[in-house]
Structure 1
Amino acid sequence: MNSTVALPTASTEKLTRAPRVASIDIFRGLTMTLMIFVNELAEVKGLPWWNYHAPAKINVMTYVDMVFPAFLFILGMTIPIALEHRIRKNGSMPQLWLHIFQRTIALIVLGLILANAEGGNRALMGIGTDLWAILALLGAVLFWNVYPRSDRYATLFRVLRFVGLALMVVMFAIFRRTTTNGETAWIATSYPEILGFLGYTYLAVSFLYLITRRWRSAPFAWFLILTALCIASTGKWIPFPGRLPLYIWPFGNGAMASIAMAGVATSSIFVQGHGAQATTLRQKAISATLFGAAALVFGWLLTPLGISKIRATPTWCLYSIGSSILLFTILYWACDVKKSLAWAAFTRPAGDNTLLTYLLPDFYFFIVSACGFTYFSTHANFGLLGVLRCAIFTALILALSALLTRWKLRLHI
Structure 2
Amino acid sequence: MTNGEPALSTGIAGQTTSTRVASIDVFRGLTMAVMIFVNALSSVKGMPWWTEHAPGNVDVMTYVDMVFPFFLFILGVSMPIAVTQRLKRNPSEPQLWAHILLRSLSLIVLGYVIANAEKADMRLMPLSGGLWAFLALLSASLYLNVYPKSERFTRLFVVLKYAGLIGLVILLGLFRRLSHGHAAWLDPSYPEILGLIGFSYVASSILYVPTRRWPWAAVAWFTIMITFCSLSAAKVIAFPGRLPLYLWPFGNGAMPAIIMAGVVTSSIFLQAASEKKTRRAMLTGGGFALTLLLLGLLLTPLGISKIRATPTWCLYSAGAAVLLFTVLYWLCDVRGKTAWADFVRPAGANTLLTYLLPDLWYFIFLALGFAYLDTHLNAGLPGVLKTVCFTALMLWFARLLTRAKIRLQI
State the TM-score, normalized to the length of structure 1: 0.94
- Residues of 2 paired with 1:388 and 1:131: CA distance? 28
- Residues of 2 paired with 1:400 and 1:279: CA distance? 37
Alignment partner, residue 17 of structure 2? 5
- 1:368 to partner: Cα distance: 1.1
- Residues of 1 paired with 2:383 and 2:100: CA distance? 41
Instruction: Give the percent of matched residue pairs that are identical in Structure 1 and Structure 2.
Output: 58
Does the alignment pair 1:299 with 2:296?
yes
Alignment partner, residue 140 of structure 1? 140
- 1:382 to partner: Cα distance: 1.1
Q: Deviations over 1:209-253 (max 9, x none)?
A: 111111111000000000011001111101111111111111110
Does the alignment pair 1:267 with 2:263?
no
Which amino acid counterpart does residue 72 of structure 1 have in structure 2?
A: L
- Residues of 1 paired with 2:361 and 2:26: CA distance? 24
- 1:3 to partner: Cα distance: 3.5
Aligned length: 398
Alignment partner, residue 332 of structure 2? 335
- Residues of 2 paired with 1:41 and 1:93: CA distance? 44
- Residues of 2 paired with 1:296 and 1:272: CA distance? 24
Aligned with 2:379 (options 369, 379, 382): 382
Partner of 1:178, secondary structure, is: strand
Partner of 1:184, secondary structure, is: strand
Alignment partner, residue 227 of structure 2? 228
Does the alignment pair 1:58 with 2:55?
no
Between 1:152-161 and 1:257-266, the stretch displaced more is 152-161
- Residues of 1 paired with 2:47 and 2:169: CA distance? 42
Q: Deviations over 1:92-142 (max 9, x none)?
A: 111111110110111011111101111011110111111110111111011
- 1:87 to partner: Cα distance: 1.1
Alignment partner, residue 70 of structure 1? 70
Alignment partner, residue 111 of structure 2? 111
Alignment partner, residue 46 of structure 2? 46
- Residues of 2 paired with 1:370 and 1:112: CA distance? 18
- 1:279 to partner: Cα distance: 5.9
Which amino acid counterpart does residue 382 of structure 1 have in structure 2?
A: A
Alignment partner, residue 170 of structure 1? 170
Unaligned segments of structure 1, at least 5 residues: 7-18
- Residues of 1 paired with 2:254 and 2:208: CA distance? 17
Matches within 5 A, 1:10-409: 19-179=19-179, 181-272=180-271, 278=275, 280-409=277-406
- Residues of 2 paired with 1:4 and 1:85: CA distance? 7
- Residues of 2 paired with 1:139 and 1:4: CA distance? 23
- 1:277 to partner: Cα distance: 7.3
- Residues of 1 paired with 2:388 and 2:144: CA distance? 29
- 1:202 to partner: Cα distance: 0.8
- 1:403 to partner: Cα distance: 1.1
- Contact map agreement 2:16 2:85 (CA 8 A) in 1: no
Q: Deviations over 1:187-228 (max 9, x none)?
A: 111211100011111111112111111111100000000001
- Residues of 2 paired with 1:322 and 1:353: CA distance? 25
- Residues of 2 paired with 1:223 and 1:130: CA distance? 40
- Contact map agreement 2:87 2:96 (CA 8 A) in 1: yes
State the TM-score, normalized to the length of structure 2: 0.95
Partner of 2:214, secondary structure, is: coil
Which amino acid counterpart does residue 161 of structure 1 have in structure 2?
A: K
Alignment partner, residue 10 of structure 1? none
Q: Deviations over 1:354-407 (max 9, x none)?
A: 111110100111111112211122211111111111010000111111111122
Partner of 1:309, secondary structure, is: coil
Alignment partner, residue 11 of structure 1? none
- Contact map agreement 2:131 2:366 (CA 8 A) in 1: no
Which amino acid counterpart does residue 163 of structure 1 have in structure 2?
A: A
Which amino acid counterpart does residue 63 of structure 1 have in structure 2?
A: Y
- Residues of 2 paired with 1:370 and 1:138: CA distance? 14
Q: Deviations over 1:63-118 (max 9, x none)?
A: 00000000000011111110011112211111111110110111011111101111
- Residues of 2 paired with 1:38 and 1:104: CA distance? 25
- 1:305 to partner: Cα distance: 0.8
- Residues of 1 paired with 2:292 and 2:23: CA distance? 21
Unaligned segments of structure 2, at least 5 residues: 1-11
Between 1:328-337 and 1:183-192, the stretch displaced more is 183-192
CA RMSD of aligned residues (A): 1.2
Partner of 1:124, secondary structure, is: coil
Partner of 2:243, secondary structure, is: coil
Which amino acid counterpart does residue 41 of structure 2 have in structure 1?
A: L
Partner of 1:123, secondary structure, is: coil
- Residues of 2 paired with 1:162 and 1:53: CA distance? 39
Moved over 6 A (4+): none
- Residues of 1 paired with 2:160 and 2:17: CA distance? 29
- Residues of 1 paired with 2:197 and 2:134: CA distance? 22
Which amino acid counterpart does residue 354 of structure 1 have in structure 2?
A: T
- Residues of 1 paired with 2:174 and 2:50: CA distance? 41
- Residues of 2 paired with 1:310 and 1:387: CA distance? 25
- Residues of 2 paired with 1:336 and 1:4: CA distance? 18
Q: Deviations over 1:295-344 (max 9, x none)?
A: 10110111111110001000000000000001100000000000000100
- 1:182 to partner: Cα distance: 1.5
